[in-house]
């Protein structure tokens, strides 16, 4: 089970919460239990999904906090942690405690457990190239830096990797590569568990820019994702990319149907893809949309920014 991204604010109290139901009907009688309160030392500002490991424990990252004394991490360089269903938290790794900060700093994505049993994730910063890393960590806490981005291949891999059916890991880098955008337009990459990285696609703004969310592999074998900016109207895109790297822009958002999609897409049992946009729609507060695998998009709902909320940053989904 995966709990999708929420808002983590650097110096605010952070919690892990579990919502339990009393019976088969979940509408009433719900009880909320706080499992863990983060205090900075054990982490701070958890921003992404918890993923349930094969051992039944939950695993995640915090963007700040931990034991690092690296001065560039004002609020701490972040952690990887596990927590039992009963609420016992173990800090598996505090970032930037190795000499030269070669282990990276500020994990910027959630984790995915690969078929080798290790969890994979990404960091925002690395001392080596300052563009972020891909790391793997065992359930017991042994961390290895798999790759350091060098900007020409991408930078700041926000979305984190997902393992494809072929065993390789696929993901987006938010910036870097082609300089048609300030800071680069971003890339799609493939990396083996052993650390061999291939840049599959470099965005150039016309086909999208700044891919933010994790990719999703659909039942047809292709990966689907979104870019926050770029495209025909510079309001973001939905794209499809094959495991070999052939990218097709399926939809260009035009503000009326949404803008700046940030959440990971999910494929439902009807075969369609579902997602959200952060801005745009009828009330400029974001949308929920569905799309066929071929690219026909329908806006299902436009948030008003009032009692129904607004500016959604994620799509609720299960772990692939």
Reported as type and span, the H/E element at residue 239 is strand 237-241
Q: Please, which contacts does 144-150 make with residues 24 or more away whose CB atoms are closer than 8 Å?
A: 145/102, 145/103, 145/104, 146/120, 146/191, 146/193, 146/194, 146/195, 147/191, 147/195, 147/197, 149/173, 149/176
Best CA proximity match to 213, nearest among 237, 179, 197, 180: 237
Q: In 4-77, at which residue ranges do the beta strands (DSSP E only) sit? A: 14-20, 31-38, 50-52, 58-62
What whole-number distance in Å separates Cα of residue 50 and Cα of residue 138? 16
**pTM tops 0.85:** yes
- pLDDT band at residue 93, thresholds of 50, 70 and 90? very high
What does the pLDDT average to over 296-305? 97
What whole-number distance in Å separates Cα of residue 236 and Cα of residue 230? 5
Q: ∠ CA(181), CA(187), CA(191), 5° rounding?
A: 160
pLDDT at 12 over 50: no
What does the pLDDT average to over 278-302? 96
Where is average pLDDT lowest: 23-27, 125-129, 133-137? 23-27
Look up tokens 């700093």; give the residue: 105
């Amino acid at each position: 089970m995966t709990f999708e991204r929420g808002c983590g604010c650097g110096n605010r109290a952070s919690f892990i919460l579990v919502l339990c139901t009393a019976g088969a009907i979940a509408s009433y009688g719900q009880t909320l239990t706080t499992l863990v309160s983060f205090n900075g030392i054990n982490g701070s500002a958890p921003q992404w999904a918890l993923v349930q490991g094969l051992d039944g424990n939950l695993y995640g990252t915090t963007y700040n906090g931990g034991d690092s004394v690296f001065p560039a991490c004002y609020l701490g360089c972040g952690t990887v942690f596990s927590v039992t269903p009963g609420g016992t938290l173990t800090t598996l790794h505090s970032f930037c405690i190795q000499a030269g900060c070669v282990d990276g700093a500020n994990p910027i994505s959630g984790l995915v457990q690969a078929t080798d049993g290790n969890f994979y994730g990404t960091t925002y910063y690395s001392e080596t190239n300052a563009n972020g890393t891909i790391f793997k960590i065992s359930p017991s806490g042994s961390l290895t830096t798999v790759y350091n981005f060098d900007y020409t291949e991408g930078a700041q891999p926000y979305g984190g990797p997902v393992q494809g059916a072929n065993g390789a890991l696929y993901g987006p880098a938010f910036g870097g590569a082609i300089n048609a955008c300030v800071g680069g337009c971003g890339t799609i990459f493939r990396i083996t568990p052993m650390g061999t990285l291939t840049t599959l696609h470099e965005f150039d703004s016309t086909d999208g820019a700044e891919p933010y969310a994790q990719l999703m592999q659909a039942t047809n074998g292709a990966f689907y994702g979104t870019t926050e900016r770029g495209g025909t109207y510079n309001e973001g895109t939905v794209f499809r990319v094959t495991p070999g790297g052939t990218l097709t822009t399926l939809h260009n958002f035009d503000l009326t149907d949404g803008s700046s999609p940030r959440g990971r897409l999910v494929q439902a049992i009807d075969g369609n893809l579902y997602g959200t946009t952060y801005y745009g729609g009828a009330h400029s507060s974001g949308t929920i949309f569905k799309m066929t695998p071929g690219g026909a998009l329908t806006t299902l709902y436009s948030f008003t920014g009032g009692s129904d909320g607004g500016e959604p940053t994620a799509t609720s989904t299960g772990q692939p």
